[in-house]
């Protein structure tokens, strides 16, 4: 593995950093940012700025208007995008849209790509991914899925309830995970594509949550007799969980990339403050209590970057990298939280105010240890693979 970046990727990194600094950060205090994410007019304005800068959807294949970046390229660019919590949204590489674009590009038919991927990649519409259910349905355990899709002639009829569905409010379409009875493999889990305006889809409520950076917030969505043509099955019937891994392994890594950028932003603010603020005859950064926190931040961020780059490199080699992406997700989500927590502590009273973006980063990154698989579930999966490897070696 060669850690050297190409000159073109270095130039793209610098161009992205300049775009975030000059165009996105000035909009961070825009009143169109609400408790449930940036408004649609603000999103469109940000997307237009990214389009003008040639930075819209950099992860998407050039056929759909993106830059066709490799996973390594995404690691570099997404970190810079994440330096502002608005950056990924501006560049159309935020969750859940980024993961949905990846899934559609790999699994969807040509007709489905033209209908849904093309407008999604261009920023004309948003999307959502409907998998998680409230108790007693599927959360971290997809085997508990209660949403059912029954065949009715040339259609499937879907009944069920999903919650914590990011971006559902205002989305153009949804990817819905439901079980098809008697479909056989993987309990019949199947993915369906549906326009959010279709009869039979209802957003029951918008859920108040700790974060406010995802467009459309998080919603509880009800499917009550939603009719989906059989032609709008995504991939094959019964293969939904396999496709979920196609989406989730790279998507959980891109979360790591973006949040690393946010951690670096918090660290830069705390470092600059520690170099100015004086106490007991010197700057607070010269005291070991604060200086060691800055050092630990550097260590955590450096190791996050190495884990991300290694997993990205494996994905670029065609590996599934499920084991490595799980390890990266657990380590990065916890290490980045530690970075944000130290930054709050270094800033002292200012750290718990909205005078800097550190408070928001600290608050919002907490959820990263839960979504795309809680740390405990990933540790359990990692342990199972470790034990299987041990048995095969005997």
Q: Is the pLDDT of residue 286 over 70?
A: yes
Q: Is the pLDDT of residue 393 over 70?
A: no
Span 81-97, average pLDDT: 98
Give the per-residue pLDDT at 142: 86
Boundary residue ending a domain (43, 75, 94): 94
Give the per-residue pLDDT at 186: 65
User: Phi and psi (nearest 5°) for 377?
Assistant: -70, -40
Give the per-residue pLDDT at 385: 95
The verdict on 245 and 343 lying in the same domain is: yes
Q: Is the pLDDT of residue 185 over 80?
A: no
- Check which CATH number belongs to the domain holding 384 and give it: 1.20.140.10
Does 12 reside within a domain?
Answer: yes
The verdict on 278 and 168 lying in the same domain is: no
Does 112 reside within a domain?
Answer: no
Give the per-residue pLDDT at 292: 98
Residues 356-389 pLDDT 10s: 999 999 999 999 999 999 999 999 999 999 999 8
Does 38 reside within a domain?
Answer: yes
Query: Residue 335: which of 302, 382, 380 has the closest Cα?
Result: 302
Give the per-residue pLDDT at 390: 67
Strand stretches in the chain, DSSP E? 33-34, 37-38, 127-130, 148-152, 155-166, 173-179, 189-195, 201-207, 218-229, 233-234, 278-279, 282-283
- Check which CATH number belongs to the domain holding 174 and give it: 2.40.110.10
Number of domains in the chain: 3
Beta pairing partners, 152: 155
Give the per-residue pLDDT at 182: 83
Q: Is the pLDDT of residue 53 over 80?
A: yes
Does 108 reside within a domain?
Answer: no
The verdict on 377 and 325 lying in the same domain is: yes
Does 22 reside within a domain?
Answer: yes
The verdict on 225 and 333 lying in the same domain is: no
Does 372 reside within a domain?
Answer: yes
DSSP string, 289-338: HHHHHHHHHHHHHHHHHHHHHHHHHHHHTT---HHHHHHHHHHHHHHHHH
The verdict on 346 and 203 lying in the same domain is: no
Q: Is the pLDDT of residue 49 over 60?
A: yes
User: What's the whole-model pTM score?
Assistant: 0.96
The verdict on 382 and 253 lying in the same domain is: yes
Q: How far apart are CA 172 and CA 393, in angstroms?
A: 50
- Check which CATH number belongs to the domain holding 40 and give it: 1.10.540.10
pLDDT band at 1 (very low <50, low <70, confident <90, very high): confident
Does 113 reside within a domain?
Answer: no
Question: What is the percent of the chain where pLDDT is above 70?
Answer: 98
- Answer for the pair 231, 177: CB distance below 8 angstroms, yes or no: no
The verdict on 22 and 84 lying in the same domain is: yes
Give the per-residue pLDDT at 143: 85
The verdict on 75 and 144 lying in the same domain is: no
The verdict on 197 and 228 lying in the same domain is: yes
Boundary residue ending a domain (94, 119, 142): 94
Q: Which range of residues forms the domain containing residue 263? A: 241-393
Does 120 reside within a domain?
Answer: no
Give the per-residue pLDDT at 389: 84
The verdict on 151 and 18 lying in the same domain is: no
Q: How far apart are CA 81 and CA 262, in angstroms?
A: 9
Span 212-231, average pLDDT: 97
Query: Residue 78: which of 312, 317, 248 has the closest Cα?
Result: 312
Q: Is the pLDDT of residue 94 over 80?
A: yes
Boundary residue ending a domain (208, 238, 268): 238
- Averaged pLDDT of the chain: 96
The verdict on 211 and 245 lying in the same domain is: no
Residues 30-40 pLDDT 10s: 999 999 999 99
Span 172-181, average pLDDT: 97
Give the per-residue pLDDT at 43: 98
- Answer for the pair 162, 131: CB distance below 8 angstroms, yes or no: yes
The verdict on 245 and 274 lying in the same domain is: yes
């Amino acid at each position: 593995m060669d850690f050297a970046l190409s000159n073109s990727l270095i130039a793209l990194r610098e161009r992205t950093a300049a775009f975030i600094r000059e165009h996105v950060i000035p909009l961070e205090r825009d009143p169109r940012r609400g408790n449930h994410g940036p408004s649609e007019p603000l999103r469109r304005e940000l997307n237009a700025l990214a389009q003008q800068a040639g930075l819209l959807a950099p992860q998407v294949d050039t056929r759909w208007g993106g830059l066709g970046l490799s996973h390594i390229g995404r690691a570099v660019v997404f970190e810079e995008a994440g330096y502002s919590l608005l950056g990924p949204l501006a560049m159309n590489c935020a969750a859940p849209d980024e993961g949905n674009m990846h899934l559609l590009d790999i699994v969807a038919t040509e007709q489905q790509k033209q209908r849904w991927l093309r407008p999604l990649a261009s920023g004309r519409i948003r999307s959502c991914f409907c998998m998680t259910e409230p108790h007693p349905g599927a959360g971290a355990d997809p085997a508990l899925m209660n949403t059912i899709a029954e065949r009715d002639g040339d259609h499937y009829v879907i009944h069920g309830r999903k919650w914590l569905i990011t971006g559902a409010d205002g989305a153009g379409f949804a990817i819905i995970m439901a079980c098809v009875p008697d479909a056989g493999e993987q309990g019949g889990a199947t993915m369906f594509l549906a326009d959010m305006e279709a009869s039979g889809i209802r957003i029951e409520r918008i859920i108040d949550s700790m974060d406010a950076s995802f467009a459309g917030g998080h919603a509880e969505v009800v499917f009550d007799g939603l009719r989906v043509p059989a032609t709008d099955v995504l991939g094959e019937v019964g293969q939904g969980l396999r496709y979920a891994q196609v989406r989730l392994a790279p998507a959980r890594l891109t979360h790591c990339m973006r949040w690393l950028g946010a951690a670096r932003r918090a660290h830069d603010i705390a470092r600059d403050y520690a170099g100015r603020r004086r106490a007991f005859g010197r700057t607070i950064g010269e005291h070991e209590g604060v200086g060691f926190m800055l050092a630990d931040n550097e260590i955590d961020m450096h190791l996050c970057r190495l884990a991300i780059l290694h997993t990205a490199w494996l994905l670029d080699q065609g590996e599934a990298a499920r084991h490595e992406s799980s390890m990266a997700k657990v380590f990065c989500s916890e290490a980045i939280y530690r970075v944000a927590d130290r930054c709050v502590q270094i800033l002292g009273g200012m750290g718990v105010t909205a005078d800097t973006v550190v408070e928001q980063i600290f608050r919002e990154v907490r959820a990263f240890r839960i979504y795309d698989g809680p740390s405990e579930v990933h540790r359990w999966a990692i342990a199972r693979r470790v034990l299987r490897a041990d048995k095969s070696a005997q």
